Every structure is written in C-alpha cells, then in structure tokens.
Amino acid sequence: WGSYHLIDEYENDFESRAVSIVYESIHPFAKVEFPTISVCDLYNKYELGEEIEKFVADLDPCGMDCYKFEIETHIAFILYPHFYHDGVIRGRCEQYENCGENCAKCPANNYRGLLERFGANCSSMFIECSLSYKSFDCCSYFLPLITPFGKCFLLNSLQNNKRDSSTWFDNLIDPAYQKPIMTISAKRPIQVSILNEEDVPHYALPTVKVEIMQPGQRKGFQFFIENMVNDPGVRDISPRHRQCRFSDELMEDTAFKAYSFSSCMADCVRQHQMALCNCTAYSLMPTSMDKYPDCDLKGYMCLERNYMVKRDAKPLLPWSDSNYTCTCLPSCTENDIRLVYESQSELERGAKDIRVEIMMSNLPSECYRRQALRSRLDAVVTIGGILGLFLGASLLSGLEFIYYFTIRLWNDLNKARRRQ
C-alpha cells in the first residue's frame, strides 16, 4: 500500500508541479528578433471612398439625390468591425426594410465579399517600409488577413505565413551595427500594433499600438520586449498542467492556423454566436467555413439583440458571471511587450503621407525560460526507487517477472513437447 500511495502522489505531482519559470541573462551580443507588426486599416468618416459612395448611390433609383448616409454608415460598420457600437445596425437598417422596391436598403448578405471589394489592398495602404534604415518592399512581406479588428496586414505572422517561406522577412537585428527601429509610411489612416507572431489584432484585447489618422502626421513610440523561451521537456507536460499552449496545439474547429490567446477568444465568441443565431460574424474567421456560415443582415440583427456582435473581453473571462465565458490559455511563446514612450504627434505641412517609427528602447538583456522540472526518465527512476524501497524490487526485477511468465514459460512448454 505504501508503494502504491507514493507512486500515485508522484504521478499527480509530475504534471501539476513539473513547470517552473526562471529569469535568465542573454548574451550581450546575441542577435535579437524584431517582433511581429500589424498594420490595420482604420475608418475615416470624411473619406470612405468614391467606390463605396457610388455603391450606396446605386442602391436607390434616384441615385445621389436620395443618398442614404445611414446605409453608408452600416457598410462602414461591416468593413471596420472595430468601429461598431451596440444597436447601430437595427437603428440604421430597420427603417428601410419596409419601404418598398423603389428605395435603397442595407445590403442583405455577402459581407465578406464587400470587404474583398471595398477593403484596402497593400498598394493602397503602404508607401515605404524600412528596418534599421534599410528599405524593403512592404507588399512582399506585409500579408493581408481578416481579423476581429478588421482588414490588417501582418509582418511575420504565423496566422498567414511560415518561417521557411519566401515571404518571411529577415527581422534579426545585430546589435553590433544595426539599430532596432522600423519606419512605416502609409497613404491612409492606420493602426500599428506590436504582436507576438501567433497573435491576431483584436479590438477587445490590450496591445502596444498607435493610431494615426491625419495626412502629414508623424508619430513615434518605443517599446521593450522580454522573450519567453521553452525547454524541450515542456511539451511532454499537458497544456492543462503547464497552463499554456504552443502555437501548433490547435483547438478543435479553429478558424486560425496558429494557437494564441487572441485567436482562442475569437474562436470562443464565434462558437457562442453560432449557438445563438446559427451564424457568425465574418471578421472572426480569416477564411469562410462551411460549418460556420457568415451572418447576413438578419443574422447580424440577431447577434445585436444578444449583444454578441462586438463582445468585450471582460465578460468572456472564466471568472465573470456572464452566461457566455471562454476558457483560453495563454500561448507558451507569449513575449512580454511593454510600451515605454509615445511621442506627441507632429504635423508636416504639405505632406500627404502618414509615418510611424517603431523602436526598441533597449535591446533585451534578459528573458524568461519555462523549464520542465521532471522528465519521463525521472519518473522511471523514482518509481523504480519506490518499488525497491518497499518491495525490494526494481525495473529489472519487473522485467524478469514478465520474462518468467511469457518467454521462459513458452520455452519450457516447447521443451516439454519435444521430450514427449
């Protein structure tokens, strides 16, 4: 009984107390990776675009003379999910539902198609990009992705790229001769965020970010990053006990290519939306899924009645008293990124572009390391020691026991048959 009790206790402790996080130094001349950058298109109510204005005008037989600004605003909510506020879809669309065939109505479906048609593309977004004052082609490395925030372009993201692909940007900084600074020039209002490579931009989750709206505006901000490194043995421990998931440990029915806390929250909200209204907001899925159809206008009105179009993060947390909570673990490779300084906006008269400078305030000198305190070999050794202490047995004697009643018994029976 004593050996069973100790082995049972050890097995319980093996996973529940098998991980430790330590703080360690980095070599002062080690190369540093510049983090993932996302550039998201922002809503500009003064310049939504001529194509959208023409589209809205064509919805009504009398054209621009009967232009419906309410429908234009509804389309803006669809194209820019971060701009949405509770109640606005019904407030702007219900009034035109019963006006007959000769008046404009809100688009009834294919909202993902509207984003593909009217959303920003790379050439209409970027002017110039550089890292360590060395220019590179923005559109070759900033790849588009539909996110909960809206249409974004991500540099070195596992959600729409791979490390060994030709579109993965070489973001290593050599402190001996390179400065960790990135400059982005754009043609239209943008939000620039610093992310982990497995994250997605999300309207409800805090990130280090800056928004720039006005042509000629110049803005800079500095950040500090401390990386999380994992020992190989950490993977042998279940996510429930190590309290994190690696990017390749995907959830069931996920819409994303890599696991992260932000993608898990998007998946969770999508599941709640599907249960309530039998459809989901298209912005919660980078690509369409047959199992989770995109909501049409009636679907969005259903989500709006249940306050699920743009769900805040706080009621989704497991310890909230909401009926719709999420149990999402952090990513095992989630780095600690902190804003250090944000400059005042400067306006360059006569300039039409927008410019952002992103800089590491200091190169990281320490990092976090998640390490496994026990391995499977440790478990074998410990269990063997317990058996030896209480039973005078070991792993070899256990193998000998099995051998005696299998191979040895079979050989003895064969010899007996030959003698007969």
pLDDT at 3: 67
pLDDT at 375: 64
Is 364:28 a contact under the CB 8 Å cutoff?
no
pLDDT at 96: 76
Cβ neighbours of 189 (radius 10 Å): 20
Q: For 258-301, what is each residue's pLDDT tens digit?
A: 999 999 999 999 999 999 999 999 999 999 999 999 999 999 99
Which has the higher per-residue pLDDT, 317 or 228? Answer: 228
Q: For the residues 82-86, what does the mean pLDDT come to?
A: 85
User: At a CB cut-off of 8 Å and minimum separation 6, what does 160 contact?
Assistant: 143, 144, 145, 154, 257, 286
pLDDT at 397 over 80: no
The token pair at 257 is: 């290519």
Cβ neighbours of 62 (radius 10 Å): 11
- pLDDT classification of 59: cutoffs 50, 70, 90: confident
The token pair at 150 is: 């809206």
pLDDT at 302: 93
pLDDT at 376: 64
pLDDT at 164 over 80: yes
Q: For the residues 13-20, what does the mean pLDDT come to?
A: 71
pTM: 0.85
pLDDT at 409: 78
pLDDT at 396 over 80: no
Q: For the residues 88-100, what does the mean pLDDT come to?
A: 79
- 151-155/36-41 β-pairing: antiparallel
Backbone angles phi, psi at 224, to 5 degrees: -130, 140
Identify the weakest region by mean pLDDT among 36-50, 330-344, 389-403.
389-403
- 217-226/190-195 β-pairing: unpaired
Please state, rounded to an integer, the average pLDDT across all residues of the chain: 86
pLDDT at 391 over 70: no
pLDDT at 8: 67
Percent of the chain at pLDDT exceeding 70: 90
Token look-up 């309207």 returns 203
- pLDDT classification of 166: cutoffs 50, 70, 90: very high
267: helix, coil or strand? helix
Identify the weakest region by mean pLDDT among 37-51, 196-210, 248-262.
37-51
- pLDDT classification of 132: cutoffs 50, 70, 90: very high
**Alpha-carbon gap, residue 364 to 254, rounded angstroms:** 33
Domain ranges of the chain: 1-10+374-418, 19-49+108-372
pLDDT at 49 over 90: no
The token pair at 347 is: 């306006």
Cα end-to-end distance, the chain, whole Å = 45
CATH superfamily for 19-49+108-372 is Acid-sensing ion channels like domains (2.60.470.10)
Identify the weakest region by mean pLDDT among 44-58, 159-173, 306-320.
44-58
- pLDDT classification of 380: cutoffs 50, 70, 90: low
Is 127:187 a contact under the CB 8 Å cutoff?
yes
Is the four-CA dihedral 366, 130, 151, 56 of positive or negative sign?
A: positive
Question: Which CA distances in Å does 145 have to 201, 230, 400?
Answer: 10, 28, 59
User: At a CB cut-off of 8 Å and minimum separation 6, what does 18 contact?
Assistant: 237, 241, 242, 372, 373, 374
